[in-house]
Structure 1
Amino acid sequence: MKKIFLYIAGIVLLASCDKKEVVKLNFDVKTDKQEYKLGDSVKFILSGNPDQVVFYSGENGHKYDYKSRTEAESNEITLEFATNRRYGSDVDQPQSFRVFASQKFNGIYSEENVKEASEWTEITSAFTLSAIMGNDNYTPSGAKNLLDLSSLGLNIDKTKPIYFAFKYKGTTGTTQPRWWVNKFDVKMKTSDGEVLTVTTIGDAGWKNVKFGNSPVLWTFNSDNTVKFQGGGAAVGSNEVWAVTKAIKLTSVTPDAGKPLKNMTTKLDGYSYYFSKPGTYKVTFDAFNVNIYGESRTVKSIEVKINP
């Protein structure tokens, strides 16, 4: 019996000696002074033994408090785009480029389901479009608050997704204009004045919807341009819509931090330049983590940048 007891005790002792735990974190941060001038290098002095450190500058898009935020409230949600037009004329090809929005479209990208009269609101008149110009010249549309376009019939429900569309219409017999778009930004301004991007031209998920036998389609390019080439007088008539994916107007990208170190690197300090004057809540998220657990410390420090 005594031998059995000693054997079991030995096993327990070996198990306890083999037990692995995450190393308890000891971490702190300070700056070399309280205030800085714009253009100065802000020097953060780090101490402790973290395996990982992530830096949040406190600037827009990089705030620790918003690292998990996916939605935000706003009463100012703007649309802005930029267009370039060449060829054709308004006399021969009137209203060749139009802009629409809808919260009624069912998301089926077909001629039968893009019901202009009953489901789409034209908002072209709220924006400035390009005159005929050279390849490299784009005309800004101006940023318009979508919530202010009720006079055009657009009554936004912020709880519902919205679709946007560019409608191209050209008639055979005369030169059909070419329309290019190199910017399409939907942004929101939060109650604390922060401007956040809801979607951009490259993230809008454009799809073609062709009406009838239209021979030309919109192209969605890797250089973040949306283009309709039009064509000469002999080209057949075109009616083609470029329609976005469903866009949730209150959806935002979580704020991002910058990883500064991992287990294989050593870091005793970090320098950073702020681009604008202001008072920033800078945060360092430091942690040790492995399969046995996690030890984490979040340290925030206020930094004032004078003009």
Structure 2
Amino acid sequence: MKNIIRILLPALLLQACSKEIDTETPALDVRMEHSTIKAGEAVNFLINSDANVLSFYSGEVLKDYEYRAGRVVKLDSIRLSFSTSLNYGTQKDQFAVFISNDFNGDYTADGINAATWQNITSLYKLAPGNSNTAIPAGVRNITEYAVDGKPLYIGYRFIVKPQTANGGSKLWTMSAFSVTGHSILGSQPLADHKSAGWRVILQGLHDPGRGAIIQAAQLAFYGNNLNYKDELQEDWVISKALETGATDMGPDWGTGIKTLPDPPLTSYQYAYEKPGKYIATFIGKNVNSHSEKQVIKQVEVTVTP
């Protein structure tokens, strides 16, 4: 008899421990009170579940179950805008805007000449004549000039030919500089006048205070007006490297809506701010110190304006 007890006791203990360690897959059913809602209004999810832990992914950007392992966001477009003004002088074709994706960051004449610069001046409408007011040049998509893995540089060039033969130099200004990236995350600033990291490269002889000058809210370009009016003058102002590549946003995260100590959850309200179709995901889990089992329920939400 003692031997039988010795044999049965470990088996009974093992069976008891197995029951303690194991947990059952929870039941989970989710329905919507209304299948279509308006933006800004709360949708009421009706929940029937015995899960002791519940979490929720709304299906919005950065809250989408599909991207729970990670999300890499690429820019759909890059837009450059600025304003110009000009005064005085008669010389033509002095001001131009360029873009490069192979400039190596050497802010010298040699560095400029070693890079490939695309002249994109024709994309913009520059100030047509003397004006004390800056005139918007337009907002243009410059995505085609971006290359994956390479930064983008914006450069403004100001050329003054010998003025006796070619006419007096104009005074140009460039203001309201803005580069924005656009993606599923919306619009994000890549650079403005203060954050552009402008660097000036002067070529040729310059009278005091003349050439390209970085001012508080604009770039100003002055031709020589004293001793060097008949010297060829070429000035550049170039931005810092603008990063336009994909961004690793990490995983999308859900929101915990019920924890182990909480009572059963029978409904959950959530408001979508933007119209669209979303896949809302609910995850029910039964957990203990030894195991975890889960079930997933998804419903489609239609949000109208």
* Other structure's SS at 1:111 match: coil
How do 1:42-191 and structure 2 match up within 5 A? 42-48=43-49, 49-57=51-59, 59=60, 62-68=63-69, 70-71=71-72, 77-85=76-84, 98-102=97-101, 104-105=102-103, 108-111=104-107, 114-116=111-113, 118-127=115-124, 139=136, 141-144=138-141, 146-147=143-144, 160-169=148-157, 177-187=173-183
Preserved contact between residue 87 and residue 178 of structure 1 (Cα < 8 Å): no
> Which amino acid in 2 is paired with 1:53?
S
Q: Relative to structure 1, is the Cα distance of residues 261 and 170 closer, same or farther in structure 2, using a 3 angstrom cutoff?
A: farther
Q: Between Structure 1 and Structure 2, how many residues are aligned?
A: 272
Provide the C-alpha distance between the structure 2 equivalents of 1:288 and 1:240, rounded to a whole number of angstroms.
Answer: 62
C-alpha displacement of 1:146: 3.4
Preserved contact between residue 129 and residue 140 of structure 1 (Cα < 8 Å): yes
Render the CA deviation track for 1:203-253: whole Å, top value 9, x for unaligned.
89955555369996699xxxxxxx64548899xx9633113344336x675
Please, which moves more after superposition, 85-94 or 46-55? Answer: 85-94
Q: Relative to structure 1, is the Cα distance of residues 99 and 53 closer, same or farther in structure 2, using a 3 angstrom cutoff?
A: farther
- Mark the structure with the bigger radius of gyration: 2
Alignment partner, residue 206 of structure 2: none
Alignment partner, residue 191 of structure 1: none
C-alpha displacement of 1:55: 2.1
Provide the C-alpha distance between the structure 1 equivalents of 2:62 and 2:127, rounded to a whole number of angstroms.
Answer: 32
* Other structure's SS at 2:30 match: strand
Render the CA deviation track for 1:115-146: whole Å, top value 9, x for unaligned.
45643323343345688787xx9948334373
* Other structure's SS at 2:189 match: coil
* Other structure's SS at 2:66 match: helix
Alignment partner, residue 223 of structure 1: none
Q: Which has the higher strand share?
A: 2
Q: Relative to structure 1, is the Cα distance of residues 120 and 279 closer, same or farther in structure 2, using a 3 angstrom cutoff?
A: same
Query: What residue ranges of structure 1 are gaps of 5+ in the alignment?
Result: 148-153, 188-195, 220-226
Alignment partner, residue 224 of structure 1: none
> Which amino acid in 2 is paired with 1:165?
Y
Query: What residue ranges of structure 2 are gaps of 5+ in the alignment?
Result: 161-168, 204-210, 225-233
**Could you say what the CA RMSD is over the residues aligned between the two structures, in angstroms?**
5.5
Q: TM-score, normalised by structure 1?
A: 0.58
Q: Relative to structure 1, is the Cα distance of residues 181 and 208 closer, same or farther in structure 2, using a 3 angstrom cutoff?
A: closer
Please, which moves more after superposition, 26-35 or 259-268? Answer: 259-268
Q: Relative to structure 1, is the Cα distance of residues 285 and 186 closer, same or farther in structure 2, using a 3 angstrom cutoff?
A: same
Q: Percent identity?
A: 14
Alignment partner, residue 261 of structure 1: 257
C-alpha displacement of 1:43: 0.9
* Other structure's SS at 1:248 match: coil
Render the CA deviation track for 1:161-182: whole Å, top value 9, x for unaligned.
2422222456899866252324
C-alpha displacement of 1:299: 1.7
Please, which moves more after superposition, 255-264 or 120-129? Answer: 255-264
* Other structure's SS at 2:105 match: coil
The reply to whether residue 248 of structure 1 matches residue 250 of structure 2 is no
